[in-house]
Structure 1
Amino acid sequence: MAWSTQAMARTTASPEQVWRLWSDVGGWSLWDPEVESSALDGAFSKGVRGSLKPRGGPLTRFELVSVEPCRGFTNCSRLPLARIDFIHTLREDGGGTVIEHRVEMSGPLTFLFRRLIGAGLARGLPGAVTRLARLAEGGPG
């Protein structure tokens, strides 16, 4: 069983401007209000692990499973009998940049974690992507 949700925003910011915010893991809470705190255990590169504390949730560990500078990255968190991939992509589009955040959940207990956290993830993504776009443009989040 699998489940996913996504959100997109267009921005006048360059991919490099968005990338600076994405690769500053300690600053994720500036553009994602669902993140209380986050940290990375090394450089922003494939295979590096980190931690994230969602608002109202337990501290979770994640791993950067793909990193393509100024194009996108994916971080993965493992839950009991489930996996959540947070896929972040950028593409240039007619003088601007399209930011897309997608969450994919898979595994035997997807049905349970979808009920527990799926609605919150789906609700939070659009605002996070919009704030990220504004901050990348140099505006307030």
Structure 2
Amino acid sequence: MKQLFLIISTFFVMQAQAQQTNYHFSHTDSTQATSDKIWAVWTDVPNWKQWDKGLKEATLEGDFIVGTKGKLIPDKGPKSKFVISEVVPNQSYTFKTKIPFGWLIIKRSLEVKEGKTFFTHDVEFTGLLKKILGKRLGVNYKKMLPDVMADIKKIAESK
């Protein structure tokens, strides 16, 4: 039974990896830190700059709930506004920021299995220019995502 589970799990991981593009990709990591510790790091918007490489500042204009707006100021490039569009406390949240003719959607989710916390960061560019923006911006974002996740893990495990 365990071997069957491994085979099925490997198949789904390979499928997920095969479907990754520069305009829609994700990365999952695992940690011994509890899910509430990852959640605390993820929802501490003013401190996103500690682990989100290239981010100079992030602010949130209220509580971490659906509809709350915020601002992102990157090290390079223009500042942007975002809105929290989904929240399932201690499990997942999604925020989106307007891009030309579409959206940049970030979804972060948690799952606890066999005493480990698995956390996933999903990035999707939508709209008419998704492939172009994915090529211009997504390539670098995708490349640095494993390091970003490692920093989140390090912060959560030190709490």
Q: TM-score with structure 2 length normalisation?
A: 0.82
In the alignment, which residue of structure 1 is the partner of 2:3? none
The unaligned stretches of length 5 or more in structure 2 are: 1-21
Aligned residue in 2 for 1:62: 82
* Native 8 Å contact 1:77 1:84 kept in 2: yes
% identity of equivalent residues: 26
- TM-score (normalizing by structure 1): 0.92
Decide which structure has greater strand share.
1
Name the structure where helix makes up a greater proportion of residues: 2
Match of residue 61 from structure 2: 41
User: Which deviations, in whole Å up to 9, do the C-alpha atoms of 1:105-125 show, x marking residues without a partner?
Assistant: 110111221122111211121
Q: Retained in 1: the 8 A contact 2:110–2:120?
A: yes
**RMSD of the alignment, in Å?**
1.4
Contact kept, 8 Å, 2:94 with 2:107, in 1: the verdict is yes
Conserved? CA contact 2:87–2:93, under 8 Å: yes
Greater Cα radius of gyration, structure 1 or 2: 2
Q: Which runs of 4+ in 1 moved over 6 A?
A: none
Instruction: Specify the alignment match of 1:18 in structure 2.
Output: 38
Give the match for residue 87 of structure 1.
107
Q: Is the 8 A contact 1:9 1:99 kept in 2?
A: yes
Task: State the Cα distance separating 1:133 from its structure 2 match.
Answer: 0.9
CA contact (8 A) 1:32 1:127 kept: no
Q: Which structure ranks higher in relative contact order (CA pairs < 8 Å, sequence separation ≥ 6)? A: 1
CA distance in 1, matches of 2:81, 2:72: 6
User: Where does residue 29 of structure 2 map in the other structure?
Assistant: 9
